[in-house]
Chains A and B, each alone.
Chain A
Amino acid sequence: MTSTAETVDSLPRSIVDELDTPPLSISQLTWRRFKRHKMALAGTIMLVFLVLYAIAGSFFYTEAYANYTETGTRLQAPSIEHPFGTDTIGRDILSRTIYGGQISLLIGLTAVLVETIVGVFLGAIAGYYGGKLDSLIMRFTEAMLNIPQIFLLIVMAKFFSGKLPNITFLGRTFSGSVVVIVFIIGLTSWMYLARIVRADFLSIKENEYILAARATGTPGYQIIFGHILPNAIAPIIVTATLSVANAILSEAYISFLGMGVQPPTATWGNMLEGAYKYIETAPWLWVFPGLLILLTVLSINFIGDGLRDALDPRSRAV
């Protein structure tokens, strides 16, 4: 490796221009670390399978079929014709789990979207500006934390029931209650994320490169979204991932209570509601949707764990 010292215009030129081959980029490192987490990998595979089940399944069964009632065939145990059996009014459970899965997963994802937008925004503002604004937002957050989510969900669901039009989205028509559920779950879960984001912002804000940005004249919003947020992304990703599982569970709770998505639109949760009276006599009514919920939530949790370790900046293992 040759190096020369030249001075051009009396300014020294760089010597030893060759940097070491760049170490792996941050994303490559993260992926490597994620792969070492066997459970996370298993969770990813499981989740991919579940999503495929919900999406691809609609090529095998139509929605009409899923909602097709035939009281003559009600409460049939699993058979060749109905691999998961039929429910209390003769609908095929397998196809209902497929379409129900679509709604449950959709609710999970969109609720987390709402939650993330609100949580990150409020946490960022509180953490960056501090002072009275911070106090105000934090008191509001704490107040929200004290309201039981289920209570709100039930109240909201009761309030809006029967008043909502149907919505068509991606070729499917479903009850407007889905949108309400999404917003309610989202608006009652953002607090955890807001606190985490605020804590991260408080600490990142003290870094010298933030002071450098202020010295440059960079306006506040650019500092928040351009400088701090990219460095705070790790806990946001982990929390958001785990929140999907929570959202799916929340939907299951309220649907089970009969306050969620209204039939005939299926969700894994409201399928459980129908099974309530038949727990022992017709276990196939709750085993299949219940198992699907369980597997989904489990795999998301494993993925979340893996992401948390992979994104942890203090973990030096590769």
Chain B
Amino acid sequence: MESPEPLVQVRHLKKHFPITRGIVIQRTLGAVHAVDDISFDIQRGETLGLVGESGCGKTTAGRTILGLYKSTAGNVNIDGHDICTANGHEWMTIRRKASIIFQDPYASLNPRWSVSAIVSEPIRVHDLLKTAEERDKRAQELLELVGLNARHLNRFPHEFSGGQRQRIGIARALACNPKFIVCDEPISALDVSIQAQVVNLLEDLQERFELTYLFIAHDLSMVRHICDRVAVMYLGVIVEMAPRDDLYEKPLHPYTQALLSSVPVPDPKKERKRRHIILTGDVPSPINPPDGCRFHTRCPIATSRCSEIVPEWREMNPRHWIACHEV
């Protein structure tokens, strides 16, 4: 049922941001352990959801996987290309095969560039079409693909609404016919009624172009809707990963359980009867993550073992992975 070779393979990926002091001679004081050993595969045509709260490292993970940040350790393989060692020609090939959609529709488009320039930049940079007419035609095509009128090619980002700008960002991501797109919270900044439009568009495009998505989000309801499999991140590590309905119906990790129980459900009778698992305390700092299991400081079922030994990442049920001692 699954393709033999996953499109994306991530193995023990780490990304630390050093904290330095001094101008002439730099001393390293420590590091922000944004991503601290994550591993997963993404099959062709699949949508993998990466969820977690702020500071868990999901955005950093998405960018490091694409090579936008240089990884501190581990490796990433996209369609046979090793991201961490690629340069020159191979680097450009990867840039065509994998693209990204950003969260902020206001910051992700250059305010001084016309829509046409923004959307056709990838084509120019990779020299895929030689003449200006061909490039313009392709730009028109791309706009129409995402549901915008091609008449607006010469307008500037500030003339569009948030939802429309996000569509422009999607058009840009499609310019070189990628296989893999990292969607970094693509709908978080949009109104509810526009979110549904954009999500439907992403699904349609996926079907039409056989795209593979890494869908990074914190809106767990939307993730359940669009993703095939979901991985839950906490403080730089993945604590649980499972097919969608397995994760939502039978969450095993205490953090996942707390997270899911906190998601409000738009059903008054249900919502008022629910028991929310309230976590105490705050998320620890990623500069000094707790020893052992990172979640142990807030975990309702933590034992002394949890504060000493890092739990093993194992497959509890078919395709259902978890890192916890007590389950």
On A, residues with C-beta under 8 Å from B are: 9-14, 17, 19-20, 22-23, 25-26, 135, 207-209, 211-219, 222, 227, 230-231
Contact = CB atoms under 8 A, between A and B. Distances in A.
4 cross-chain pairs, A with B, having the tightest CB-CB distances, nearest first = A217-B95, A230-B112, A208-B107, A208-B108
B122 interface: yes
B159 A216 contact: no
B327 interface: no
Contact of B158 (A23, A209, A212): A23
Contacts of B112: 26, 230-231
Contacts of A12: 147, 197, 200-201, 204
A211 B91 CA distance: 15
A213 B201 contact: no
B158 A217 contact: no
B111 A215 contact: no
B107 to A, nearest CB: 4
B155 A216 contact: no
B149 interface: yes
Contact of B125 (A11, A17, A25, A218): A218
Contacts, number: 87
Interface stretch (B35-43, B98-106, B129-137): B98-106
Given A209-B107, A217-B92, A231-B110, 18 more contacts: A10-B208, A14-B148, A14-B149, A23-B159, A135-B23, A135-B24, A209-B110, A211-B63, A214-B68, A215-B66, A216-B121, A216-B122, A216-B125, A216-B172, A219-B125, A227-B110, A230-B112, A230-B113
Contacts of B121: 213, 216, 218
18 contacts: A10-B207, A11-B208, A12-B200, A12-B201, A14-B147, A17-B149, A22-B155, A26-B112, A208-B107, A208-B108, A209-B109, A211-B108, A212-B100, A212-B172, A213-B121, A217-B91, A230-B110, A230-B112
A23 B157 CA distance: 12
Nearest to A14: B147
B314 interface: no
B131 to A, nearest CB: 19
Contact of A11 (B100, B107, B122, B145): B145
Contacts of B152: 19
Interface in B75-110: 91-92, 95-96, 99-100, 102-104, 107-110
B100 to A, nearest CB: 5
Contacts of B104: 208
B126 A217 contact: yes
Contact of B159 (A22, A213, A214): A22
Contacts of A215: 66, 68, 95, 99-100
A67 B24 CA distance: 56
Contacts of B102: 208, 211-212
B160 interface: yes
A209 B158 CA distance: 14
A254 B102 CA distance: 55
Contacts of B197: 12
A25 B24 CA distance: 44
Given A216-B121, A217-B96, A19 B160 contact: yes
Nearest to A313: B111
Interface string B56-69: 00000001001010
Nearest to A10: B204
A180 to B, nearest CB: 36
A9 B126 CA distance: 29
A10 B126 CA distance: 30
Nearest to B69: A211
A209 B122 CA distance: 13
A207 B157 CA distance: 15
A96 B134 CA distance: 59
A23 B24 CA distance: 48
A11 B147 CA distance: 7
Contacts of A22: 155, 159
A11 B201 contact: yes
